[in-house]
Amino acid sequence: MLPLYVTSGEPAGIGPDICLSLADRADERPVVVLADIHMLRDRAKILNKNIEIIEYQQQEQSSLQGQLFVEHVPLNQDVVLGELNPENSAYVLEQLSRSAYFAMEGQSVGVATAPVQKSVINDAGIHFSGHTEYYQEFAGVDRVVMMLATKTLRVALATTHLPLRDVADAITKQRLHQVIDILIHDLKTKFKIEHPRVLVCGLNPHAGEGGYLGHEEIDTINPVLESYRAQGVNMSLSMPADTLFTPENLKDADAVLAMYHDQGLPVLKSQGFGEAINITLGLPFIRTSVDHGTALNLAGTGLAKSSSLHVAVDLALELARRK
């Protein structure tokens, strides 16, 4: 049975800590952590965890509780807890490249990712804007969609990791068509929602107030949404973001499309931080992720919460079963 790979992310942060908690599971499908096996064993000792950490062999089918399969990726330098080291940036990216390669080559069902620290990778002289963009480039697809989800809310993004001053220029009719096509397709195919209902945020306050607070809704966003509505897609026109997220509006919605990162995600994370997950739509493989960062100050303390990683693994395994 094909494995699910889990990247351990930034080694100085809590990624290795939360990955060790996967030994508490007993999944039918192998769940394999990409990490330096020696570093994980050292971290387990620091955290007083009695875990059998095993280098993964393809013939192994499942692990027992107390066991953790690892695909060994050697560190460049020893890790100091809580201290970023640009010399280990290549190690972090090697985890991502191996996970993507295994998925693209049909050697895994997909990947779940622990957090990375974008800044230290860029400090190493490597341009890196995030997991989402990395996997998009590796897979060679024109567009992917970042969507975060809790048990009760899904929020997809028209733009991802952009400075706020660049967002309006990035919201074009072409981009919106690409994003909505992917969103509708994956809600139907991955999540098995036959007729998804999507609510769409406007870009400007009050969705532009009829042009008095901006013209993007009139010139770009609503014409695209009208074209989908004319095809029978159950999709709103642009709505003011400050009232869209009320319980009355959300009660029958399958997803919300926000125009930029901090428009939709603060609401979602306020509802379910630590239980939310990040899903990359539009890839030819499954990719889920945690909803939090590296928490350098918590590394090795035993205080890091692993709930989001377990939800991400659960969803990835569930999506693999639905294929």
CA–CA–CA angle 175, 163, 212 (5° rounding): 70
Percent of the chain clearing pLDDT 90 (strictly above)? 87
Tell me whether domains 1-141+285-323 and 142-282 share a fold: yes
Q: Which residue has the tokens 């080694």?
A: 11
Q: What is the pLDDT of residues 198-210, one digit of tens each?
A: 999 999 999 999 9
At residue 58 the predicted structure's pLDDT band, cuts being 50, 70 and 90, is confident
The dihedral through the CA atoms of 194, 150, 161, 241 has a sign that is positive
Q: What is the pLDDT of residues 20-45, one digit of tens each?
A: 999 999 898 999 999 999 999 999 99
User: In 3D, which of 9, 1, 20, 28 has the Cα closest to residue 91?
Assistant: 9
Domain assignments of the chain as residue spans, ordered by start: 1-141+285-323, 142-282
Evaluate if residue 323 carries a pLDDT over 80.
Answer: no
Task: Pick 48 or 161 by higher pLDDT.
Answer: 48
Determine the pLDDT at residue 245.
94
Q: Is 295 left (phi over 0), alpha (psi -120 to 50) or beta?
A: left
> DSSP letters along 11-78, please?
TTTTHHHHHHGGGG---SS-EEEEE-HHHHHHHHHHTT---EEEE--TT-----TTEEEEEE---SS-
Report, as an integer, the average pLDDT of 238-242.
96
Write b or e for each residue in 55-68: b if 16 or more Cβ atoms lie within 10 A of its Cβ, otherwise e.
ebeeeeeebeeebb
Determine the pLDDT at residue 275.
76
Residue 228 to residue 129: CA distance in whole angstroms: 31
- Binding region: 131-132, 161, 206, 261, 269, 278, 287
Residue 131 to residue 294: CA distance in whole angstroms: 13
- Binding region for a divalent metal cation: 161, 206, 261
What class does CATH assign to 142-282? alpha beta
Q: What is the pLDDT of residues 258-298, one digit of tens each?
A: 999 999 989 988 877 667 889 999 999 999 999 889 999 99
Give the domain 1-141+285-323 fold: Isopropylmalate Dehydrogenase (3.40.718)
- Binding region for substrate: 131-132, 269, 278, 287
pTM: 0.89
